[in-house]
Amino acid sequence: MDIQKLIQKDGIIEKIAKAEECLWFNPNIKTGSGSFEGTAITMDDIEKAERRLDRFASFIMQCFPETIADGGLIESPLAEIQAMGQRLDTGGRLLLKLDSHLAIAGSVKARGGIYEILKHTEDIALQNGLISSDEDYAKLAEPECRQVFSKYTVQVGSTGNLGLSIGIMSAAIGYRVKVHMSADAKQWKKDLLRSKGVEVIEYQSDYSEAVKQGRRLSDMDPMSYFVDDENSVDLFLGYAVAAKRLKAQLEGMQIVIDSRHPLLVYIPCGVGGAPGGIAFGLKKLFGDNVHVFFVEPVQAPCMLLGMASGLNQEICVQDVGLTGITHADGLAVGRPSGFVGRVMKGMLAGEVTVEDSKLYDYMRQLLDTEGIFIEPSACAAFEGPVRLCRDGRQYLAEHGIEPVIDNAVHICWATGGALVPEEIRREYMNTYL
């Protein structure tokens, strides 16, 4: 692979290599069923995942009493943030999907991560005769079941939030847990995991190395299960369930989504699993009336680089001279998921990259206008509507959005923040780059 030729022949890759902010529209986007070419995942798969989460509701309430009010449902509010919308001058309605406030793990990773662990737990429980599929799953919280689960190990590689969701849920079930964390992971996240009895293994290298080593060590142990953030269909489906929940929330707010009221969604992106799963679910439900954009930091735009070059996981940001180092710790990923890149090829509207300094500015603006705190990496989402409305007129015109832009519904996906300790919040609020 001749990197210099790749950079020279493609203007967007040249901008990526210079760590410049950019707005990229996917030239391969398709309409209708063409969006889903190349993937065998169906709406039925998403509905099966949703039913599995329903089966575990009583178990979740047993282990995490804070979910009792919601009947064991791990779901986040959808909030209208009108004052923030006015500050950003986005046009239309601006809403915030508060996955930053999801129960148990305080991030979007509570969706896919917890779902995959519950599916693994169901598989073990059925294999060991602990339960039948029509019994009350609360039984799995009993000591004799925990004793069985304690014979098994769960491992995962993470920059932080996935490790929290996997670690907290796995430890609550009774597994031995090992979280392999990259150098970008925040100390408070490591400390929180250790307080739950999780073994945290630290690496001085990046996310990809933590995943590689975690996978290698897990493969050596027949009683170990590795959560593969780069390639897991189960993780993907757990995230995809979010789309069904969002649809119900929009209906509850009497918000119509159709060709005259388009839905524009902006999701921070690391390796791609969470935003990919959510995007897939949204396209299944809203079709051509939803337009999903991923947002990445300028030093770690791995998904954009993979999709724009067509190389997916065969290229990393370091190949074009970037560091992969960013204040957006959850997005500090150098190499994208090839699985997600291939699924997104015909459905992702585009990508936006953002300077780290803006993350803190958006964080302060949100707190000032709405009284809501989310972590810096989650604030990347706000760059989406700002850049699209300012520089994306061609896309808006080509897709019939420009004439109805005032009717548009913009949703920024807040991916994390509720578990950030108060002293770290104060530190963030006083960070200026």
Do 283 and 358 fall into the same domain? yes
Q: What is the mean pLDDT of residues 224-237?
A: 95
Do 76 and 181 fall into the same domain? no
Give the distance from CA 226 to its chain's centroid. 18
Q: How confident is the model at residue 160 (pLDDT cuts 50, 70, 90)?
A: confident
Burial (CB < 10 A; 0-12, 13-18, 19+), residue 212, is middle
> Looking at the predicted structure, is the pLDDT value of residue 1 above 80?
no
Question: How many residues would you count in the chain?
Answer: 433
Lookup: tokens for 284: 């299944």
DSSP result, 364-425: HHHHHHH-----GGGGGGGHHHHHHHHH-HHHHHHTT-GGGGGG-EEEEEE-B-TT--HHHH
Cα separation, 277 vs 313, whole angstroms: 17
Do 226 and 286 fall into the same domain? no
Do 124 and 184 fall into the same domain? yes
Do 98 and 71 fall into the same domain? yes
Do 214 and 241 fall into the same domain? no
Do 188 and 258 fall into the same domain? no
For the chain, the distance separating the N- and C-terminal CA atoms, rounded to the nearest angstrom, is 35
* Per-residue pLDDT tens digits for 77-122: 999 999 999 999 988 899 999 999 999 999 999 999 999 999 999 9
> Looking at the predicted structure, is the pLDDT value of residue 57 above 80?
yes
Cα separation, 393 vs 67, whole angstroms: 43
pLDDT (0 to 100) of residue 289: 98
Lookup: tokens for 260: 């005259």
385, 410 contact by CB (below 8 A): yes
106, 418 contact by CB (below 8 A): yes
CA atoms within 13 A on the CB side of 115: 30
Number of domains in the chain: 2
DSSP state of 107: B
Q: Where are the beta strands (DSSP E) in 15-107?
A: 23-25, 78-80, 93-98
Mean pLDDT for the chain? 96
Do 311 and 249 fall into the same domain? yes
Torsion of CA 78, 115, 195, 106, to 10 degrees: -10
Q: What is the mean pLDDT of residues 134-153?
A: 96
Do 258 and 386 fall into the same domain? yes
Q: Which residues pair with 97 in a beta bridge?
A: 78, 413
Do 93 and 177 fall into the same domain? no
Query: Which of 214, 232, 250 represents a domain boundary (last residue)?
Result: 232
Helices (H) and strands (E) in the chain, counts: 18, 11
pLDDT (0 to 100) of residue 400: 96
271, 230 contact by CB (below 8 A): yes
CATH number at residue 292: 3.40.50.1100
The domain in which residue 198 lies consists of 109-232
Q: What is the mean pLDDT of residues 324-332?
A: 93
**Farthest-apart Cα atoms in the chain, separation:** 62
* Per-residue pLDDT tens digits for 421-433: 999 999 999 999 9
Query: Which of 232, 251, 278 represents a domain boundary (last residue)?
Result: 232
Q: What is the mean pLDDT of residues 389-410?
A: 96
Please list, in sequence order, all residues whose beta carbon lies within 8 angstroms of the beta carbon of residue 96, skipping any fewer than 6 positions away. 78, 79, 81, 84, 366, 370, 372, 411, 412, 414
Do 42 and 68 fall into the same domain? yes
How many Cβ atoms from other residues are within 10 Å of residue 195's Cβ?
Answer: 9
Q: How confident is the model at residue 182 (pLDDT cuts 50, 70, 90)?
A: confident
Query: Which of 232, 255, 280 represents a domain boundary (last residue)?
Result: 232
Do 172 and 257 fall into the same domain? no
Q: How confident is the model at residue 4 (pLDDT cuts 50, 70, 90)?
A: confident
Question: What is the pTM (predicted TM-score) of this model?
Answer: 0.97
* Per-residue pLDDT tens digits for 267-311: 999 999 999 999 999 999 999 999 999 999 999 999 999 999 999
